[in-house]
């Protein structure tokens, strides 16, 4: 079983890992010999911040409250990864913890995969329809994503293909992009695949964003598929993005992160209730770093998934509540899918979520003819397509509204409150709060601008 080991080494070693100006020590120097665990020597140790109550009277053991996150050497922990034999796994984990008191946690490192759909149905409408329904209202207010970093955490981006389909050149910000160790290829030049589709679907809404190429799902593990990675690589990617965000002045801080992937099978995970579980556990290292990045000022979006009851993906392994892990995190916007006729697509996962009950948050458009990443007649589909459409909306707003004016939490509230309530009865587990409604969002941004101008 693949695992993430959370350790608390000596503070000077933690400082060397946290400090971006020095070379990070290798995993073997951090962990030494771990009995029963085959350490991954290529995985660069990752610092994990310590959550702390934002207020002096807060509960030091609760994650369900306003939090700050500390990377001070006396607070932070460090992650390494490796593999434990499945045979007698529980005994091996117990032995590891008993022999090494500097180990503070052992968590699942499940495979995570992209979210294409199950069906072979033709597209409903095209990307110009999406622009009419979503983009035009934003453009009328000058909300086009100018200068906003938008990270596509996926299989990599191919800018040549994007430029051909969009009819004008596309670039990525290579200096701020990131890839796992061992992944070959240049940023913006990866094979046309799922990540290129996601980048396209964000650009049709916010054409002037600064794309960050984060090909986490280009796994180099033996036997892995081309669209599969490890959650530990996503942790490393998020640590990189957090470092970028922390370098920005607070008043100009902005970053949008689009994630069209997730964990499909509980067999890849520790069971709920186990301290190393991912699907139901806000204290898992990845779920912690998601929360830390959001507190720092990032707008984070996840696809709700494609395990809807009418047409579930064949990989869906959760018998109920398939929106799990970070896809259901209270600090992210979880995105369901509708077609261009406003009908929910049958594969779109339904709530309740596992980390937060009210998931998905909102729905937006998918299953339209767009990027042609999978062929001339194949739609951009799944909640995989809906998520970057929504990310484009958030990036467009951020081109004029700073985190100081509208925190990520308030951004999510604005999008939920302005959504078109399809069912007419408030929140539901199919559409969330409704379909994203950019004319209403533009009205809210105008009001916000007037309020800010008076301050």
Picking from 35-49, 173-187, 310-324, 356-370, which range would have the lowest pLDDT averaged per residue? 310-324
Residues shown for the chain: 455
Task: Name the most confidently modeled range: 120-124, 179-183, 450-454.
Answer: 179-183
Same domain? For 71 and 128 the reply is no
**Domain housing 205:** 113-454
Same domain? For 124 and 145 the reply is yes
Domain boundary among 109, 135, 166: 109
pLDDT at 221 over 80: no
Q: Phi and psi of 288, rounded to 5°?
A: -65, -45
Give the per-residue pLDDT at 228.
58
Same domain? For 389 and 247 the reply is yes
Domain boundary among 58, 85, 109: 109
Same domain? For 139 and 105 the reply is no
Domain boundary among 89, 109, 129: 109
* 87 or 319: which leads in pLDDT: 319
Same domain? For 224 and 368 the reply is yes
Query: By percentage, how much of the chain surpasses pLDDT 90?
Result: 80
The Cα 71–Cα 415 span in angstroms is: 31
The residues, any chain, with a CB within 8 Å of residue 60's CB and separated by 6 or more, are 52, 53
Same domain? For 118 and 101 the reply is no
Give the per-residue pLDDT at 117.
62
Mean pLDDT within 166-184: 96
The total domain count for the chain is 2
pLDDT at 331 over 80: yes
pLDDT at 87 over 80: no
Mean pLDDT within 315-322: 88
Same domain? For 101 and 201 the reply is no
Handedness of CA 248, 251, 252, 254 (dihedral sign): positive
Same domain? For 91 and 237 the reply is no
Mean pLDDT within 69-81: 95
Give the per-residue pLDDT at 275.
92
Same domain? For 299 and 352 the reply is yes
pLDDT at 223 over 80: no
Calculate helix-pair angle for 438-454, 382-398, nearest 10 degrees. 30
Distances (CA, A) of 129 to 52, 126, 215: 46, 5, 29
Contact 141, 445 (CB under 8 A): yes
The residue among 154, 105, 416 whose CA lies nearest residue 287 is: 105
Contact 102, 7 (CB under 8 A): yes
Q: What are 14-56's pLDDT values in tens digits?
A: 999 999 888 999 999 999 988 888 999 999 999 999 999 999 9
Q: What are 114-136's pLDDT values in tens digits?
A: 876 655 789 999 999 999 999 99
SS3 28: helix
Same domain? For 27 and 123 the reply is no
Please provide the average confidence, as pLDDT, over all residues in the chain: 92
Query: By percentage, how much of the chain surpasses pLDDT 70?
Result: 96
CATH code, 291: 3.40.50.200
pLDDT at 108 over 70: yes
Give the per-residue pLDDT at 116.
61
Mean pLDDT within 256-273: 92
Beta-bridged to residue 432, according to DSSP, are 428
Contact 340, 130 (CB under 8 A): yes
Same domain? For 38 and 171 the reply is no
> 310-328 burial by CB neighbour count: b if 16+ within 10 A, else e?
eebbeebbbeebbbbbbbb
């Amino acid at each position: 079983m693949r695992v993430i080991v959370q350790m608390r080494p000596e503070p000077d070693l933690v400082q060397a890992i946290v400090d971006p100006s020095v070379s990070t020590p290798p995993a073997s120097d951090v962990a030494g010999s771990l009995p029963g665990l085959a350490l991954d020597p290529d995985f660069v140790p990752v610092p994990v911040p310590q959550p702390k109550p934002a207020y002096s009277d807060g509960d030091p053991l609760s994650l369900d409250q306003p939090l700050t996150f500390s990377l001070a050497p006396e607070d932070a922990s460090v992650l390494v990864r490796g593999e434990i034999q499945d045979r007698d796994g529980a005994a091996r984990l117990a032995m590891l913890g008993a022999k090494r008191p500097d180990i503070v946690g052992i968590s699942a490192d499940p495979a995570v995969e992209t979210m294409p759909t199950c069906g072979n149905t033709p597209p409903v409408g095209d990307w110009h329809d999406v622009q009419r329904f979503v983009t035009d209202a934003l453009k009328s207010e000058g909300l086009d994503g100018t200068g906003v970093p938008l990270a596509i955490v996926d299989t990599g981006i191919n800018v040549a293909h994007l430029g051909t389909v969009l009819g004008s050149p596309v670039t990525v910000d290579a200096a701020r992009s990131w890839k796992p160790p061992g992944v070959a290829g240049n940023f913006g030049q990866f094979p046309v695949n799922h990540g290129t589709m996601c980048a396209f679907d964000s650009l049709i809404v916010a054409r002037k964003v600064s794309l960050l190429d984060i090909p986490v799902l280009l796994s180099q593990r033996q036997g892995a598929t081309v669209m599969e990675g490890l959650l530990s690589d996503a942790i490393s990617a998020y640590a990189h993005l957090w470092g970028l965000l922390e370098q920005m002045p607070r008043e100009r801080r902005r970053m949008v992160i689009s994630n069209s992937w997730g964990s499909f099978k509980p067999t890849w995970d520790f069971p709920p209730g186990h301290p190393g579980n991912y699907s139901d556990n806000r204290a898992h290292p990845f779920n912690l770093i998601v929360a830390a990045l959001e507190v720092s000022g990032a707008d984070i979006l996840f696809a709700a998934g494609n395990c809807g009851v009418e047409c579930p993906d064949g990989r869906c392994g959760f018998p109920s509540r398939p929106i799990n892990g970070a896809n259901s995190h209270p600090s992210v916007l979880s995105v369901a899918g509708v077609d261009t006729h406003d009908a929910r697509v049958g594969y779109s996962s339904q709530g309740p979520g596992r980390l937060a009950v009210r998931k998905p948050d909102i729905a937006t458009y998918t299953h339209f003819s767009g990027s042609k990443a999978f062929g001339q007649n194949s739609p951009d589909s799944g909640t995989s397509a809906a998520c970057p459409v929504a990310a484009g909306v958030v990036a467009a707003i951020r081109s004029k509204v700073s985190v100081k004016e509208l925190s990520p939490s308030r951004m999510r509230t604005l999008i939920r409150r302005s959504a078109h309530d399809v069912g007419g009865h408030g929140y539901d587990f199919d559409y969330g709060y409704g379909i994203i409604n950019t004319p209403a969002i533009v009205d809210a941004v105008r009001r916000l601008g007037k309020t800010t101008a008076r301050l």
